[in-house]
Homo-oligomer: A and B are copies of this chain.
Amino acid sequence: MTDQRPIPGEIPSDATVPKVVVNRLSLYLRELQRLESAGQATISSGQLGALLGFSDAQVRKDLGFFGQFGYPGVGYRCDELIKAMRDILGTNQLWPVVMVGVGNLGQALLGYRGFVRQNFQIVAAFDADPAKVGQSYDGITVRAVEDLPAFVKEHAVRLGMIVVPADRAQEVADRLVAAGVDGIVNFAPVTLTLPPQIQVVAVDLAIELEQLSFAVTSRLQMAAGAEPSTASDESGPETAPPA
């Protein structure tokens, strides 16, 4: 606790903050963490925005959802803003995570160091394949999927990660919900049907490539003759087609 300034009194609920803002918060946090480890103590909204391709107004507006940060003439203090953002995102505490499905992708995710850096720890992995059960990957021994409910309850795990094939994902999701998790990250390429109180984030790795093919395609078209123009973050045509 500091007696200086920022630290929002109350973190706004999910319903009051657009998803895109929360997503940008993650990007700000990454950039701040990178700057801090490079020894930078303060940053302005303009500098932070420039590093990510956003305007300074966008940065201030996004942070404004969560409270007052920064000092006149100084900017933001990296360490304070990192702490505040982790408070907002809920990642100042360690989140234990269970993973279901230890195929190639699951094995890769078990070794992905980016999770622990942001305070997510995969504490157990489960698989339906008896040949996998008992094997260890990155220090995690695979358990039988039948043991999932007991483990989740005993360790009060709130997040689950689904890394099984599409046709098994719903069944695994049902198990995770029955076991008591609050949130699910779904790597399976299928839309899950879940109770409304369960939070879910779907990961589709092809979307990143699609964004890239759009950027490459449109850049080449631009180079081929179209006039470049700029657009503010959410401006758009005001006339709507009939559908």
Query: A interface vs B, CB < 8 Å?
Result: 10-23, 25-27, 29-30, 34, 44-45, 57, 60-65, 68-76, 88-91, 95, 97, 103-115, 117-118, 120, 158-159, 161, 182-185, 189, 191, 197, 199-201, 203-222, 226, 228-243
Query: Hey, which chain B residues are within 8 Å of A74, CB to CB?
Result: 243
| Known contacts A64-B240, A212-B199: A15-B230 contact under CB 8 Å | yes
CB distance from A233 to the nearest CB of B (A): 5
Query: Hey, which chain B residues are within 8 Å of A214, CB to CB?
Result: 14, 22, 25, 88-90
> What is the bound-complex CA distance between A30 and B206, given in angstroms?
10
> What is the bound-complex CA distance between A16 and B233, given in angstroms?
10
Residue of B nearest to A22 (CB): B214
| Known contacts A89-B213, A91-B210, A211-B23: A222-B15 contact under CB 8 Å | yes
Q: Are A207 and B26 in contact (CB under 8 A)?
A: yes
Q: Are B217 and A11 in contact (CB under 8 A)?
A: yes
Q: Are A115 and B75 in contact (CB under 8 A)?
A: no
Q: Are B113 and A108 in contact (CB under 8 A)?
A: no
Residue in contact with A18 in the complex, picked from B44, B218, B231, CB distance below 8 Å: B231
Q: Are A243 and B209 in contact (CB under 8 A)?
A: no
Q: 25 interchain pairs (CB within 8 A)?
A: A14-B214, A15-B218, A18-B232, A18-B235, A19-B211, A26-B207, A26-B211, A29-B210, A44-B243, A61-B237, A61-B238, A64-B241, A65-B236, A69-B241, A91-B213, A109-B205, A159-B213, A182-B216, A182-B219, A182-B220, A183-B216, A185-B209, A185-B212, A201-B208, A203-B205
